[in-house]
Every structure is written in C-alpha cells, then in structure tokens.
Amino acid sequence: MSWVLGHWRFPPHCTAPHVSAVRPHYDQLTWHPPRRGEAGGRVVKWTCDCTEVFYELIALGGLRFIRRTALRAGKTVIC
C-alpha cells in the first residue's frame, strides 16, 4: 500500500465499486449540467471516489438520475 497526498492510492480505502473501463459496445451518455433544484436528493448508490471522476445514483421526488462529480484542482465540481 502506498500513501499519496493524504489519501490511500489502493485499498483498503476503496470500499465502493469502481467504474468499468470504456468498451466498444457501450453507449456514450450525453451529460447535462444539473438543473435548478436538482442539487439535493438522496444518494442511492455510488462509485468509489478514489479517482478524479465518480458517479452517484440520486433519487429525488420520484425521479432518479446519475450525477457525475469531478475533483479538479482540489475542488469538487458537479458536472
């Protein structure tokens, strides 16, 4: 195990599933910026946050959507 900038690079830090590698038969999703009022919601499932981009399944008012979050220059950016 290695220690890098205050975070574990490899498990045991990782407890959530990781995003699969891109494969040719996968469909590319079109990402839209969050609309007003979508900032809240209940996080139902999530991917590991050990990478620069991670995803969360959000439930909000009977709807579900995927929120993509990126860590850029030490800041959390919801894209």
Residue listed under structure tokens 């205050």: 6
> pLDDT per residue over 37-71, tens digit each?
556 788 999 998 888 888 999 898 888 888 888 88
Task: Supply the pTM of this predicted model.
Answer: 0.66
Report residue 17 CA to chain centroid gap.
11
Cβ neighbors of 24 (< 8 A, separation 6 or more) are: none
The pLDDT score that the predictor gives to residue 2 is 40
Q: What is the dihedral of CA 12, 13, 16, 20, to 10 degrees?
A: -90
Residue 19 CB neighbour total at 10 angstroms? 11
